[in-house]
Amino acid sequence: MPNLAEPPTPTESRLPALYLKPHEERRLLAGHLWVFSNEINVAVSPLAGYSPGELVQLRSSRDRFLGYAYINPRTLISARLLSRDPAWPPGLPLLRRRIETALALRERLYREPFYRLVFGESDLLPGLVVDRYGEVLVVQLGTAGMEALKELILEALVQVIAPRAVQWRNDSPIRELEGLPLYVETAFGEVPDNVVIPEGGVRFRVPLASGQKTGWYFDQAANRALFSHHARGARVLDVFSYAGSFGLQAARAGAREVTCVDASAAALEAATATATANGLALETRKGDAFQALEALHAEGRRFDAIVLDPPAFIKRRKDHPKGLAAYRRLNQLALQLIDHDGLLMSCSCSWHLAPGELTDAVQRASRHLGRFVQLIAVGAQAPDHPVHPAVDETRYLRAFLFRVTDAC
Ligand code: SAH
pLDDT in tens, 98-145: 999 999 999 999 999 999 999 999 999 999 999 999 999 999 999 999
Is the minimum distance from the CB of 240 to ligand 1 under 6 angstroms? Answer: yes
Nearest-10 Cα torsion for 233, 234, 238, 244: 10
Mean pLDDT in the chain? Answer: 95
Pairing of strands 77-83, 114-119: unpaired
Is the minimum distance from the CB of 198 to ligand 1 under 6 angstroms? Answer: no
Of 205, 228, 240, the residue with max ligand 1 atoms within 8 A of its CB, to mutate for a pocket test, comes to: 240
Give 186-195's long-range contacts (Cβ < 8 A, gap of 24+). 187/139, 187/154, 188/154, 188/158, 188/163, 189/163, 189/164, 189/165, 190/164, 190/165, 191/136, 191/165, 191/166, 191/167, 192/136, 192/165, 195/133, 195/134, 195/136
**What value does the mean pLDDT take over residues 190-198?**
94
Quote the domain boundaries for residue 65: 12-83
Is the minimum distance from the CB of 210 to ligand 1 under 6 angstroms? Answer: no
Provide the whole-model pTM: 0.95
Of 206, 216, 262, the residue with max ligand 1 atoms within 8 A of its CB, to mutate for a pocket test, comes to: 262
Is the minimum distance from the CB of 223 to ligand 1 under 6 angstroms? Answer: no
Separation of 60 CA from ligand 1 center, angstroms?
44
Pairing of strands 55-59, 338-348: unpaired
Last residue of a domain, one of 60, 83, 106: 83
φ, ψ at 14 (rounded to 5°): -85, -20
Reported as a single tens digit per residue, the pLDDT across 201-257 is 999 999 887 656 668 999 999 999 999 999 999 999 999 999 999 999 999 999 999
Predicted confidence at residue 8, as pLDDT, reads: 47
Is the minimum distance from the CB of 260 to ligand 1 under 6 angstroms? Answer: no
Separation of 346 CA from ligand 1 center, angstroms?
13
Closest ligand 1 atom to 288 CA: 23
Beta carbons within 10 angstroms of residue 31's beta carbon? 12
Is the minimum distance from the CB of 242 to ligand 1 under 6 angstroms? Answer: yes
Same-domain check for residues 207 and 160:
no
Among 5-14, 22-31, 241-250, 336-345, the least confident range:
5-14
Residue 171: CATH number of its domain: 3.30.750.80
Give a yes or no: residue 330 inside a domain: yes
Cβ atoms of 266 and 210 within 8 Å: the answer is: yes
Is the minimum distance from the CB of 264 to ligand 1 under 6 angstroms? Answer: yes
Give burial (CB, 10 Å; 0-12/13-18/19+) of 256: middle
Same-domain check for residues 340 and 359:
yes
Reported as a single tens digit per residue, the pLDDT across 52-75 is 999 999 999 999 999 999 999 999
Question: How many domains, the chain?
Answer: 3
Give a yes or no: residue 262 inside a domain: yes
State the catalytic residue, choosing from 260, 347, 349, 408. 349
Predicted confidence at residue 228, as pLDDT, reads: 98
Nearest Cα residue to atom 11 of ligand 1: 240
Q: Does the active-site annotation cover 408? A: no
Separation of 100 CA from ligand 1 center, angstroms?
33
Same-domain check for residues 78 and 126:
no
Give a yes or no: residue 295 inside a domain: yes
Q: How far apart are CA 116 and CA 103, in angstroms?
A: 9
Closest ligand 1 atom to 291 CA: 23
pLDDT of 3 above 50: no
Same-domain check for residues 137 and 75:
no
Same-domain check for residues 100 and 210:
no
pLDDT of 4 above 50: no
Is the minimum distance from the CB of 114 to ligand 1 under 6 angstroms? Answer: no
Same-domain check for residues 145 and 217:
no
